[in-house]
Structure formats: structure tokens, C-alpha cells
Chains A and B, each alone.
Chain A
Amino acid sequence: MNFMSEKTKVVPCSGIGKVYGLMAREAVLTAVHELCPGKAETVCLGYIVTGDREAKEKIEGFDCVTVDGCPKMCAAKNVKIAGGVIKEEIKVMDTVKEIKSKNYGSATKLEADGEKVVAAIAAKIAGNIA
């Protein structure tokens, strides 16, 4: 019997090389902790990558929203491999094109325009969660 939570799983890439990975991460955490508590939760992408049965069980057959910071689409690809049902693949770059700035911050710390992108993506995530 599967006792896993029915909450929508929201998974960011959390890419470590560029600011876009941090924006993906912070947007997902904003959505899960602040905008949709009780309806959404995140699952460590690193855990999914291990291929552990327990990690797969957290994702397989569940509604998922992924947020990726680069064209490699790590979150979406890994969630698909684990059997997640992807409702929406959000690309950080789409929102970056809408909120143009010369300084979003770095992969370590966001500046004000980076926070604006985070808020916009978090709202997009929330819009995909019933």
C-alpha cells in the first residue's frame, strides 16, 4: 500500500553553476512553503538521481511540476525517468525574458531583479497546483 502524500511534487534543478539554478530553487521553495502549503511539496532532485526505489515511489504516478534553469532540463528529465506525471515544465529563461535585467545576482545570492523573477515563477507554479 502506498502511503505517499497526494500533494503535487514540485522539483527544481537547483543548478549550482549559474543564477538561473538558484532562481529555480528559490521559486519552488517559495511556492511550496509560502504559496501552496498543504497542496504541494518538493522532493530532493539528488535523491531522485540515485534511482532508489524509495525515491522513485515519491514521484512515480504523481502530478509533478518541474522548474529548470538551463536547456539541459535536468529536473524535467530526471522526474520523467522516475515516472512522474509532468503537468508543467517551467523554464526560468522564459520568465527572465519577461523581466529583463542586467543583474539578477549570482548562483549564490539573488539581487532584487532576481527576486522578482523568483516571485513570478512561484506564481506560475502556484497556478498549476489545484
Chain B
Amino acid sequence: MSDEKIGIISCSGEECLGGTITRLATRKVMEEMRANVAVTLCLPLFLAGGEEERSFAKVFPTISVDGCDKLCAKRGTEKHSGKINGSLDVSKIIGTENALNTKVVMNKHLKSEHFQMVDKVAKEIVKMMDSLDPNANGPKKSGCCCCGGKC
């Protein structure tokens, strides 16, 4: 597998479980499954940050991970940063009813069934990462976290 960086932008939505799952699955990929490959950026930084943040999707081949079919991460990234290379709608993986659950959203309320959903989504992210051409966006900068290639 190439060691070129691949960007993952999760919606991290606060209103329902799907958003929590996107955030945790993205973290799992970054920390455990593709620690030296996956990089991320906070979605709202596209508006709150500067040109460096907005160039993220131009610099890294990027996958969006959304918790529901509003696809905010996909649309927000494409609107403010650039065309993405792949997108996942978590509601299609864990089911719409689970994704739109507004009762269980906090980390401290998650049970083993929810962590299984995280694992399932993380596997789908990795599958999509592995199917991408890491050089799709041209030569890449290195990066490790939410720095957009700064560190």
C-alpha cells in the first residue's frame, strides 16, 4: 500500500448517532487502521480557517464520511475546498433508523452494539481508501492530523 496521505473528512454531526459514528470511525482509521496514511481536518475549518485549510481537498485525495443523507461533509468539502474522491453515507451502512437516533449521541452512552457500528464504518472507510489512487491529486504534502499538511 502507498504511504501517500489520504484525507478523511467526517461530518461529526451533533444531532444524531450517525454523526458520532462518523467521528469515531474516522478516529479509529487514523489511530489504528491506517495511522500513517489517514489525515483529517475539522469540517468547519473550511469556513473558519484560511486558504491553507481550504486547499485540503486539492492537496489530498479526500473521502467524506457522512452520518445521514444530508451529506454535509461531502457537500461542505466540495463547496469550500475541492472535488472529493469518494464518499460514504453511514446511514446506508448502519441503517437510517440507527443513524438518525437522537437519544444515543454522546460517547458515554455508547454500548457494544454502537462500537460494532464504528468498526463496520471504519472498515468501509479503509476499503475505500485502499481503492483510491493516492496520486489522484498530484504530488502530496505530508501531514499527520488536522493540520492540513502543516506538521
Contacts and interface: CB of A to CB of B under 8 A. Distances in A.
A17 B145 contact: yes
Given A21-B42, A22-B107, A74-B45, A46 B19 contact: yes
Interface string B48-75: 1100000000000000000000101101
Contacts of B45: 72, 74
Interface residues of B, number: 37
Given A15-B42, A25-B14, A108-B31, A81 B72 contact: no
Given A15-B146, A78-B47, A46 B26 contact: no
Interface string B14-57: 11000100011011100100000000111111111100000000
A127 to B, nearest CB: 20
Interface in B120-151: 145-147
Interface residues of A, number: 38
A14 B24 CA distance: 11
Q: Which are the 5 A-B pairs with shortest beta-carbon distances? A: A17-B146, A74-B44, A46-B72, A44-B13, A46-B11
